Structure 1
Amino acid sequence: MPAASDSGSAQPSNLRYKRVILKLSGESLSAAGDRGISGAEVAQIAAQVKSALDTGCEIAVVIGGGNILRGAQFSGRTNSVQEATAHYMGMLATTINALALQDALEAAGCQTRVMSALSMDTICERFIRRRADRHLSKGRVVVLAAGIGSPFVTTDTAAAQRALELNADVVLKATRVDGVYSEDPEKNPHAVMYESLDYAEVMEKNLRVMDATAIALCREHGTPILVFNFNKEGNIVKAVAGESVGTWIGPKPAQ
């Protein structure tokens, strides 16, 4: 199917999800164990997003900034930078990542818009819900930067919030592991991966999938979360197609 144009495009009748929020960590843009932005990693993600877009699914991406800076690293009273200030610095880091991803997506053939929760008119649009909805309906990938524009709020919570505002069918949480495990699989090779969980289990077992506020938002509104490994070729396409990949959190998907 050809890429969507500005005039919009018809969607396949068998499309599982009409609209998704893809949550990418800042670290997904850097090489494993490294920081900063890797052009190869960004291009690989962009190619997968393009393939997913070609299925007819509408895609908004919420990007983190941990590969550059985390606001939480300045927590504590001994730091000269106030924690609230550091969180705003982290929002700027997400915008740097969003611009890098935008260029890679456009090089891959996608039409894009970067929308920020903070005003940065010379480099991107301000997030306005109706405008974002319009961009998505026209087949553009919308890259959402700066969280929700407030300190002490994670980009995971921003993903849940934007999913509700934009009526997304699911939050796709992209990680470097295959799903949600009972323990860190990189530390314990015997850790068990869950195929599905409900929101209460995630919180009761203290499974660090997303922060508690994000889980609570999704739980309150019945928005499902799919946690999967984006590093496996084709997994983003499989995720938007509703194929069995990763760990499903929330109500059982309709068959």
Structure 2
Amino acid sequence: MYLVNVIAKDTTIVDRGLDTHLRPTIDLLRRTLGSDENIVKAIKRFPWLLTFGAHHAMETNLLLFRDTVFSDVRIKKFVLRYPRYLTQKSGWVKDLLQRVENDFRVPRDSPCFLQGFEVLSSQKKSTLKRKFRIFNSFGWSDDDVVKMFRKLPYCIALSEVRIQKALNLFMKECGFGTAYLVSHPAILAYSLEKRVVPRMQVLKILDEKKLERRKLALYPVLMLTESKFIDYFVLPYKDQIPDLYEPLKKTVAP
């Protein structure tokens, strides 16, 4: 009933034709998403889903995803999150799928394949070239960048300024090598202002005071939840350094 109400509120949907457009499109979405509730969720994410052109184009895109060895479960999750890709030109979808597999060498069965598809869809080729050049300027080869992408595609979605700052910090200040960052790409994705720098400041204070602390490398320290980090590196020293929590204050939600 809720799906009916959603459709009734948008006259452009009704105008498309019940038997020629609306019914076959909803049937296709129902087969893909499994329920009217999920169709409504997809429409909320992409309000133009039912006003898109011929449903045959959506069918073609779904076939492209299946031909790329996506299971129905993965396709359902992907369409629920990114319903707009059903409405893209099939040639564009096919080209992007091939770029993920061939240019960035992400295996089709990799959990990162669909994330790679989504990331590349948001990046102009000219923007990607500039980002590659930033990595190159720090001694990375193109193959290094591709290896990083295979592990965590999101790193390529970071802004050029963010990439530059992260590489400056981790490579020039912290002394991490390319190989380490390629194999631990999540470190580049952490917020510098909210996570990395404040935690580094806390560790620096402890070391300057020559206080005994857990000897964890920076990467596992950054992986800790906020509460775990405070338990490990702040609370044990609250009597000796009352203001040790200060660097973290602005990073914690009130």
TM-score band by shorter chain is under 0.3
* Larger of the two Rg values belongs to structure: 2
RCO higher in structure (CA 8 A, sep ≥6): 1
**TM-score, normalization by structure 2:** 0.22
Which of the pair is proportionally richer in helix? Answer: 2
Which of the pair is proportionally richer in strand? Answer: 1
